[in-house]
């Protein structure tokens, strides 16, 4: 078995190789002068199992993934398992308006072409796994995040919307504290409205937990609500830290701590999901 770490998931691939005690596949990748991607597999992989790890975000990383899959398939790999630590486009999981694409399905179908199995981490909604046409499994960073938050003496967990309620419940159960959720209405890509709600968060060390932080708008509004209601400290945690624009800087100023898993690599992605992925494998 070989582990192939794509350019967007080198840390997880390295961690995974260590956890499974399997070698990293030797590959050459580069970009041509016109920025097109090139990959060449250097090891002999005919008849071998290959685990290809690549976060499917942003768009160029999806193209890299498809090209790496082609190389590994053509080199005769017996079984290709694609690990998508973050599955980009997963939030466009249905037609919200007539005429729209179901983008998550479009990406899933293409990734399925040269894959025998797929593993992803904390998909935005679990039903999107059905968009892949090969067996697809998921694992979660929530318990790893919760263990970290427990050490930070968090004693209340908040979900910023109903969709994140189960994550908050799971984290709170490990920490052994209360949880609640907010009602969020998305106005557009950058604007959300939080319905005021009385939370039992006064004097508490609160962690807000979500699957994705993108613009940071959801978290910023939730932090404001918690501070209004007298929370002592507020930290934010998520699996996939996209941190568009200056979102990370804004959130760091607005709260007491920001942490995320390493499905996307950035300066606060300190929680490794490698052991969860290794278990799923
Ligand atoms: C949406 O349902 C997701 O779970 C996140 O709450 C959302 O993607 C966060 O986006 P933003 O950081 O832009 O508010």
- Across-strand partners of 149? none
Can you tell me the distance from the alpha carbon of 179 to that of 200, in angstroms, rounded to the nearest whole number? 9
- Percent of the chain at pLDDT > 90 equals 95
DSSP for 92-160 reads --S-SSTT---HHHHHHHHHHTT-SEEEEES-SSGGGGGGSSS-EEEE-SHHHHHHHHHHTT--EEEES
Provide the pLDDT for residue 240: 98
Atom of ligand 1 nearest to the CA of 189: 13
* 248 C-beta closer than 6 A to ligand 1: no
Whether residue 226 is predicted with pLDDT greater than 90 in this model: the reply is yes
Task: Report whether residue 257 contacts ligand 1, using a CB cutoff of 6 Å.
Answer: no
Q: How far is the CA of 122 from the centre of ligand 1 (A)?
A: 13
Residue 270, pLDDT score: 96
Residue 20 — very low, low, confident or very high, per pLDDT cuts 50/70/90? Answer: very high
Atom number of ligand 1 nearest to Cα 124:
4
Decide: helix, strand or coil at residue 23. Answer: coil
Distance 218 CA to ligand 1 centre (A): 6
> What pLDDT, on a 0 to 100 scale, did the predictor assign at position 267?
95
* High-pLDDT (> 70) share of the chain, %: 100
Q: Tokens 């005769």: give the residue.
A: 76
Q: What is the mean pLDDT of residues 240-264?
A: 97
Residue 190 scores a pLDDT above 90: no
What DSSP letter does each residue of 190-243 carry, written as one string?
S-EEEEP---S-TT-EEEEEEEEESSSHHHHHHHHHHHHTT-SEEEEEEEEE--
Q: What is the pLDDT of residue 194?
A: 87
45-56: pLDDT as tens digits: 999 999 999 999
Please give the Cα distance from 164 to 241 (Å, whole number). Answer: 15
On the question of pLDDT at 13 being above 90, the answer is yes
| Mean per-residue pLDDT of the chain | 96
pLDDT band for 222, please (50, 70, 90 cuts): very high
Residue 217 CA to ligand 1 centre (angstroms): 8
Q: Work out the pLDDT band at 126, boundaries 50, 70, 90.
A: very high
The reported pLDDT for the residue numbered 197 is 87
Does the Cβ of 122 fall within 6 Å of ligand 1?
no
Which residues are designated catalytic?
Answer: 184
Mean pLDDT of 232-241: 98
The set of residues, in sequence order, having a beta carbon less than 8 Å from that of 21 and lying 6+ positions away, is: none
Separation of CA 22 and ligand 1 centre (Å): 36
Strand 192-195 and strand 183-186: the pairing is antiparallel
Does the beta carbon of 215 sit less than 6 angstroms from any atom of ligand 1?
Answer: yes
Is the CB of residue 65 less than 8 Å from the CB of residue 6? yes
Q: Is 92 in the pocket of ligand 1 (CB under 6 A)?
A: no
């Amino acid at each position: 078995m070989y582990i192939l770490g794509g350019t967007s998931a080198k840390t997880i691939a390295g961690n995974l190789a260590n956890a499974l005690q399997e070698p990293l596949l030797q590959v050459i990748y580069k970009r041509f002068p016109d920025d097109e991607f090139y990959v060449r597999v250097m090891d002999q992989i005919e008849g071998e199992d290959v685990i290809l790890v690549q976060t499917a975000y942003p768009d160029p990383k999806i193209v890299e993934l498809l090209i790496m899959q082609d190389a590994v398939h053509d080199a005769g790999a017996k079984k290709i398992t694609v690990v998508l630590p973050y599955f980009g486009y997963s939030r466009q999981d249905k037609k919200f308006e007539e005429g729209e694409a179901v983008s998550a399905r479009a990406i899933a179908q293409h990734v399925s072409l040269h894959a025998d199995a797929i593993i992803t981490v904390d998909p935005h909604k679990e039903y999107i796994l059905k968009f892949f046409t090969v067996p697809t499994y998921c694992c979660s960073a929530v318990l790893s995040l919760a263990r970290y938050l427990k050490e930070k003496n968090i004693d209340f967990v908040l979900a910023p919307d109903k969709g994140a309620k189960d994550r908050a419940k799971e984290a709170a159960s490990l920490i052994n504290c209360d949880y609640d959720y907010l009602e969020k209405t998305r106005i557009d890509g950058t604007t959300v409205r939080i319905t005021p709600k009385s939370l039992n968060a006064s004097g508490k060390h609160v962690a807000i937990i979500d699957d994705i932080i993108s613009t940071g708008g959801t978290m910023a509004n939730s932090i404001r609500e918690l501070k209004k209601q007298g929370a002592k400290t507020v930290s934010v945690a998520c699996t996939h830290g996209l941190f568009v624009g200056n979102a990370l800087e804004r959130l760091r100023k607005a709260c007491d701590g920001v942490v995320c898993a390493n499905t996307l690599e950035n300066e606060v992605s300190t929680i490794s999901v490698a052991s969860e992925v290794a278990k799923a494998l």
